[in-house]
């Protein structure tokens, strides 16, 4: 009998050792992990489908809380998968949430390859974002429909989009971050994808300097400062950025801090115009932005929106494969 007990005990200990070796704690819950869900919006503004990924925090389906939403915009050569595949956003969000650095949140990653998040003759991406995507998220997910419930971040062309959005829609955005933003104050360099984008071209297909200037941030900054809302902004770029984004980030920072001396951060880090930089700075940027974000609300049948109207509670989304 003693021999059988000893054998059983050894087997149990071996099994427990395997679990511990795999990083699982016996008697406790496994580490929190969010889901990535792929969605598709039939966009009338774009005239085609707008795919997007949604990061859903651990416990979303089992609860009834409403969450802040971080919208992540990709660059000109990427798509809705880039922030997950190259930026490892799921892993970073899991770590920051589990450690309590940021609250549980939804993260939305739309895919619009080649667009600059602006309305042009080819892509009405700005309209698609604000009039179709954001309302769809706030209808289908338990998202906080207040300014402090919406955060925006983007890289390169997506950083250009973020800067334009915060200057044009400051009453809708709680905080923002732009990484290596393609916000060339004078003109895009020869290697910039902006020169081949239809939004910045004339009827003959040539780059239109006047179109660029009329849509870039220097043309919008006075309007921003003529209204009361201020959007906290985190800027970051690699010091060896081949497109000059470090200089442009510093110039934007200088122009903004001259009139908004607080609620601004700038980081120039070692690196170029690539994911090695963007996947690194997103961590600190999320820490910064979520300082200004609403916390998830407890169980509630109604949530007040920006316009003061009550929000009807939606049922939890079913888990999607």
Q: Which domains does the chain have, with CATH numbers?
A: 31-297 (3.40.50.1820)
Give the CA distances from residue 260 to residues 101, 134, 284, in Å, rounded to whole numbers and listed in that order: 26, 27, 21
At residue 73, the pLDDT reads: 98
CA distance 4 to 1: 5
At residue 3, the pLDDT reads: 41
At residue 309, the pLDDT reads: 47
Q: What is the mean pLDDT of the chain?
A: 87
The band of 4, judged by pLDDT with boundaries at 50, 70 and 90, is: very low
CA distance 185 to 89: 30
At residue 18, the pLDDT reads: 38
Percent of the chain with pLDDT over 70: 83
The band of 11, judged by pLDDT with boundaries at 50, 70 and 90, is: very low
Each residue's pLDDT tens digit, 90-139: 999 999 999 999 999 999 999 999 899 999 998 899 999 999 999 999 99
- Provide CB contacts within 8 A for 204, sequence distance 6+: none
DSSP letters, 194-241, are GGG-GGGB-TTS-B-HHHHHHHSGGGTHHHHHTSS----EEEEEETT-
CA distance 255 to 30: 47
């Amino acid at each position: 009998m003693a021999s059988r007990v000893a054998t059983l005990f050894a087997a149990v200990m071996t099994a427990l050792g395997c679990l511990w070796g795999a990083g699982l704690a016996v008697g406790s819950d496994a580490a929190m992990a969010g889901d990535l869900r792929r969605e598709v919006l039939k966009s009338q503004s774009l005239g085609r489908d707008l795919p997007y990924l949604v990061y859903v925090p651990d416990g979303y389906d089992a609860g009834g809380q409403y969450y802040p939403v971080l919208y992540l915009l990709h660059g000109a050569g990427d798509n809705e998968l880039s922030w997950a595949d190259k930026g490892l956003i799921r892993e970073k969000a899991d770590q920051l949430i589990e450690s309590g650095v940021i609250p549980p949140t939804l993260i939305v990653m739309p895919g619009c390859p080649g667009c600059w998040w602006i309305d042009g003759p080819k892509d009405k991406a700005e309209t698609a974002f604000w009039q179709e995507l954001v309302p769809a998220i706030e209808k289908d997910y338990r998202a906080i429909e207040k300014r402090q419930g919406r955060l925006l971040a983007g890289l390169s062309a997506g950083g250009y989009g973020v800067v334009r959005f915060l200057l044009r829609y400051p009453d809708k955005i709680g905080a923002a971050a732009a990484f290596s933003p393609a916000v060339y104050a004078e003109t895009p360099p020869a290697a910039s994808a902006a020169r081949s984008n239809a939004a910045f071209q004339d009827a003959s297909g040539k780059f239109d300097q006047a179109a660029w200037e009329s849509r870039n941030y220097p043309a919008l900054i006075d309007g921003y400062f003529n209204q009361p809302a201020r959007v906290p902004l985190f800027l970051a770029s690699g010091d060896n950025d081949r497109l000059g984004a470090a200089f442009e980030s510093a110039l934007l920072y200088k122009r903004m801090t001259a009139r908004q001396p607080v609620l601004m951060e700038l980081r120039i880090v070692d690196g170029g115009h690539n994911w090695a930089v963007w996947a690194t700075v997103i961590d600190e940027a999320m820490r910064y932005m979520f300082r200004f974000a609403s916390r998830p609300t407890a169980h509630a049948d109604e949530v007040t929106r920006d316009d003061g109207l009550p929000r009807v509670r939606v049922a939890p989304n079913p888990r999607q494969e």
